[in-house]
Structure 1
Amino acid sequence: MQLSHVYRVSKYDPANRDDHGHYTGAEDVTSDHGKVEATYLQAVQAFASETGVDRLSVREPEVSTFVHFGLEAPMDGFGLGTLLPGGLDGFHDGAEVPLDTGLELVRLMLRDSGAWCRLEVEGAFAVHVGWDQYVYVGSSRPCHEALSRTRELGLFPERLDVSPYNFEPDEDGVQPPGDNDFWASLYSAVACGRAGLLEEIYVQNASRWHRLTGDTIDTVRAALAPRARLAVWPDLSSDTAAVLDALPSEGLVEGVWQDKEGQIHSAVADEDEFPELADLIAGADAAALLPMYADERVPLLSAVMPDGDGVVRARWQAERSLNDSPREVSG
């Protein structure tokens, strides 16, 4: 549902924009970690309070990849360690947080902590943080008092039709549920030796890896993050020499390996980092290489975990798998 009242809130005076809308004034594009940052939080709080919101849902959480585009260095644990129960483990799609915690998440995003999410109350309220200290607030109500308060704080609310950070589903995406049928298929694939590795994408750009046997599948399933995306891959190979021989001469790959203690790790590497990745794989018990390019990265099975009542409420899509890939059908 599109909210009827959307504003771009910033410290940038619209009077200091050129004919193309680019800001030409002296304000910095990073947070001051002080008074100005505090005014942003006060403005968001004013809009939320006038809308009648005291709790927010975390939607589509993500963390920095191996490439970080923020102007400030990412924070340890993305700044979530003392903010959410369980830190990063508590940062999942659908997590409900009090408004005060939501405001602290906005602060982390203003500081380029490396963690980002949408904060919403469906049909009533939303706040999104964009680049360069732009904050987008949407409400089902006009929020005249919040607008006045925002201006009193020295910020500039500008009316928009829609936030550029509204969730837009991939029209070609798939959302197969991680229901009993999915797990039955996974059991069969593991039993026949076709599959053996489960990728749990618990936030965007971060995965946990699980090596599967018939005896461990139920335990893994019970511990998955809410609304996680799942991708099923062939098992790791104990022939690490053959895995290393498969390294390409250039490009991006993801190496996945199990160390001597049984822990599974992964790393994305390009040709400059292949020697370091090769050293890690050479000392591992088992390993695999996975492609990074979208048209090549096709798991055996994929799914999105439903809520406890069996309904898939996550909005993000799973990777297309061989189960639903057009190339599988045409083959």
Structure 2
Amino acid sequence: MNVSAAGSDPSASAPRPASVEGGSATGLHVYRITKYNPADRNENGHYAGPEDSYSDHGPVEAAYLAAVAAFARETGVTCLTIREPAVTGFINFGVEPPIEGHGLAGLFPPDLTGYHDGAQVPIAVALELVRAMLRDNGAWCRLEAEGRFFVHVGYDQYVHVGSALPCSHAVTFTRQRGLFAEPISRSPYGPESDGDDLARRRPADATFWGELEALISRGGVVVLEEGYVRNASHWHRITTVDEVAAIRSRLTPRARLLVWPDLSTDVDAALAGLPDEGLSEIVWQSPQGHISSLTVDETHYPALRAMLTDARAILVLSCHEDERRPLMAAVLPDPDGVLRARWTP
């Protein structure tokens, strides 16, 4: 049993992956749905009762899903939009280990087509995403109907829903299923308002692509990182300006784009320059031309040379934000030219 994690009230702790646009709870009725009896909270609001922080993968989990469905039904929403999607990264804070496929198998293809910021899914799929998040399978996202409804899943079996309606029937239904629906002022897992980060968002518009083509014309080959979800990227090595249009046509909607220098063919020198400690991202190209990446720390170094024996070229990127400086960075706007993605590159 793990009661210490449940005792840390997520409403006062750091959220799961945060974005940068203003909070989505403005004007909405927000409820914290949990299996934790409010009577068992201490003076600081931390839960100190007997419930553990794991999903039971059974009737309690089913009650959570039924509660979310009840709130959505009373609000009148039949589909939700995926926002800020993520998959398991190098570090995982969940109490259960992530699983292969991040809990998305059967919901999306293996390449995760359709799992991106702005994608709309029916309530049935949204509930399966909530299930995956409750189980710490590896996937995480916000689910929203703009201005009307949201579902945010936090750590330790905390679910926050917001609705344009008070949803009194759904509140009663939730309590009848053995859960607690507590009204709160806002979701702690909502998008965070940060003016500095908002200012850093650059749209990947015609000016961006023109500058990229000019960079290629002047300096030669670059590597384009397409962050299609958080903690996962597609990599494109662009050797000529003529290749840009074809690559643009294949990019995931609302992807985060980072432009890096070309890979180095001196693999040994690149590996010799790895830091003594800390996280680094290794980007390498196979003999077949496919580019992959892997986050490593010093404990992985002994195995790296064997793993990269056949690597044609390599690029080592620091995972420290102040050292991670791409040549260019932008976020894809929607087809109408509006930048709706809330994350920064």
Counterpart residue identity of residue 226, structure 2: E
Identity of aligned residues (%): 54
- On the 8 A contact 1:63/1:203 being kept in 2, the answer is yes
1:208 partner SS? strand
* Partner in structure 2 of residue 121 of structure 1: 145
Cα deviation for residue 81 of structure 1 reads 2.1
Paired with 1:126 and 1:250, the residues of 2 have a C-alpha distance of 40
Match of 2:195 among 171, 176, 183: 171
User: Which sits farther off after the overlay, 14-23 or 261-270?
Assistant: 14-23
Correspondence for 2:343 among 289, 295, 316: 316
Instruction: Tell me which residue corresponds to 2:233.
Output: 207
State whether structure 2 residue 213 is matched by structure 1 residue 187: yes
Deviations 1:148-180 (A, max 9, x none): 111111111111100001101443221111112
Deviation at 1:3, TM superposition (A): 3.6
1:278 is the counterpart of 2:305:
yes
Is 2:246 aligned against 1:219? yes
Tell me the amino acid that sits aligned with residue 187 of structure 1: E
Alignment of 1:135-146 (within 5 A): 135-146=159-170
Deviation per CA, 1:243-297, whole angstroms, max 9, x where unpaired? 2332223322211110111111111111221222233345311111111101110
Count of equivalent residues: 318
Give 1:1-331 correspondences, 5 Å limit.
Answer: 1=24, 2-84=26-108, 88-173=112-197, 174-193=200-219, 196-214=222-240, 215-318=242-345
Q: TM-score when scaled to structure 1?
A: 0.92
In structure 2, C-alpha distance between the alignment counterparts of 1:282 and 1:171, rounded to whole Å: 45
Calculate the TM-score normalised by the size of structure 2: 0.88
* Cα distance between partner residues in 1 of 2:213 and 2:170: 54
Q: Distance in 1 between matches of 2:111 and 2:170?
A: 31
Identify which of structures 1 and 2 has the higher relative contact order when contacts are C-alpha pairs closer than 8 Å and 6+ apart: 2
Please give the per-residue CA displacement for 1:109-166, whole angstroms capped at 9, x wherever unaligned: 1111100000000110001011111110101111111111111111111111000011
- Residue 210 (structure 1) shift: 0.9
In structure 2, distance between residues paired with 1:169 and 1:199: 26
List per-residue Cα deviations over 1:76-127 (Å, max 9, x = no partner): 2112121135662221000000011111111111111100000000110001
Superposed CA deviations along residues 222-257 of structure 1, whole A, max 9, x for unmatched, are: 111110000000000112233233222332221111
Alpha-carbon distance in 1 for matches of 2:49, 2:325: 47
- Counterpart AA for 2:291: I
Q: Per-residue CA shift, 1:182-209, capped at 9, x if unaligned?
A: 1111111122226510111111111111
Residues 77, 88 of structure 1: 8 Å contact kept: no
Aligned counterparts of 2:239 and 2:280: Cα–Cα separation in 1 = 25
Aligned to 1:323: none
Cα distance in 2 for partners of 1:276, 1:9 equals: 45
Indicate the SS of the match to 1:90: coil
Deviations 1:284-324 (A, max 9, x none): 11111111101110100001001111111101112xxxxxx
Does the 8 Å CA contact 2:221/2:239 hold for their aligned counterparts?
no
1:238, 1:87 → 2: CA distance? 28
Is the CA contact 1:54–1:99 (under 8 Å) kept in the aligned structure 2?
Answer: yes
Partner Cα distance (1:71, 1:114) in 2: 11
Q: Which amino acid aligns with 1:192?
A: R
Deviations 1:13-47 (A, max 9, x none): 11112222222222221111111111111111111
Tell whether the 8 Å contact from 1:255 to 1:277 is kept in structure 2 after alignment.
no
Letter of the 2:281 counterpart: E
Partner AA of 2:138 in structure 1? G
Partner Cα separation in structure 2 for residue 70 and residue 303 of structure 1: 30
Structure 1 residue ranges without an equivalent (≥5): 319-331
Check the 8 A contact 1:80/1:87 in 2, yes or no: no
Amino acid at match of 2:233: S
Superposition RMSD on alpha carbons, in Å? 1.5
Q: 1:186–1:195: 8 Å Cα contact kept in structure 2?
A: no
Distance 2:139 2:336 in 1: 29
Aligned with 1:261: secondary structure?
A: coil
User: Structure 2 counterpart of 1:200, which letter?
Assistant: E
Contact 1:195 1:233 in 2 (8 A): no
Structure 2 unaligned runs (5+)?
1-23
Distance in 1, matches of 2:177 and 2:80, equals 23
